[in-house]
Amino acid sequence: MSAPSPDTKAGMPLVHAVNVTKAFHGTEVLKGIDLDVRKGQVVCLLGPSGSGKTTFLRCINQLETLDGGRIWVDGDLMGYEERGDKLHHLTSKAIAAQRREIGMVFQRFNLFPHKTALENIMEAPTQVKGENKTQARENAIALLERVGLQDKPSAYPAQLSGGQQQRVAIARALAMQPKLMLFDEPTSALDPELVGEVLAVMRELANDGMTMIVVTHEMSFAREVADHVVFIDGGVVVEQGDPTSVINNPQHDRTRSFLRRVQSEHQAVEHVPETLQAAVATGTHQELADPTSDSDLDEVE
């Protein structure tokens, strides 16, 4: 399988995965995943825990190495180069350079606890890209405003809510000006009242044309924001298509069973807020309406 020539790159999807396989300790986790993601698309990966969704996401930016298959991002073969008919691993430095083009947001926020929100966002552009601190600071301030935290530049992670920390994590990923954003269940570690504000930021990114691959159990996001939904189970793509078709009219028993279970569980948000401002206002209203919010627990007990 040869690398695409410069003449064919323009016609390729931004992400082109072919027959991706991966095993851990002899157990196959990915069994031949094919996926195309066009520039500007939002693709949601759905499926039960252990189905391979996160592993596939990590293979895209080479946090996990592939056992078989190929993944191209913007025409570049990830993690390898072809010399003649043989594949050769790229050096760690070359792989790191590829990763700079891809932002990733994890379940846990992974912020530096000893750095402020502003410093967390400035870290990668200054240390990895060599951006001067003045420019990095200006960009970081703009990104804090973009995620609705313009009043929190000096706050440390411990002083922020989970939703605010995840918004800083999104801003940190955006600071590298990625061509692709990967989200690995970005709301799963959040209290329910904070989910909407993170999904709203992601919705705004989608509206701005950011290409996104999102592993999520938030069906409202998959239904309302995604352009394409992929259901993965047992390391294979079982079903994929537009959200309306897959979610409202699944064709496979495994898809139907998964969706019944997920939809029977409580969803943090019924609809993704149109804007971050609306999400924050809703969250504030819920906190005020709840007499046993976290801030009051000590007094209630």
In the structure, what pLDDT confidence band is assigned to residue 1 with cuts at 50, 70 and 90? very low
3-state secondary structure of 44: strand
Instruction: Please give the torsion angle defined by the CA atoms of residues 267, 273, 279 and 281, in that order, rounded to the nearest 10 degrees.
Output: -110
Residue-wise pLDDT for 17-43, tens only, equals 999 999 999 999 999 999 999 999 999
pLDDT at 295: 37
128: pLDDT strictly greater than 70: yes
* Single-letter residue type at 86: K
Q: According to the model, what pLDDT value does residue 287 have?
A: 43
What was the pLDDT predicted at 5? 41
The pair of structure tokens assigned to 66 is 């592939």
pLDDT tens column, 183-200: 999 999 899 889 999 999
Between the alpha carbon of residue 18 and those of residues 30, 86, 98, 193, 237, the distances in Å are 12, 17, 18, 39, 12
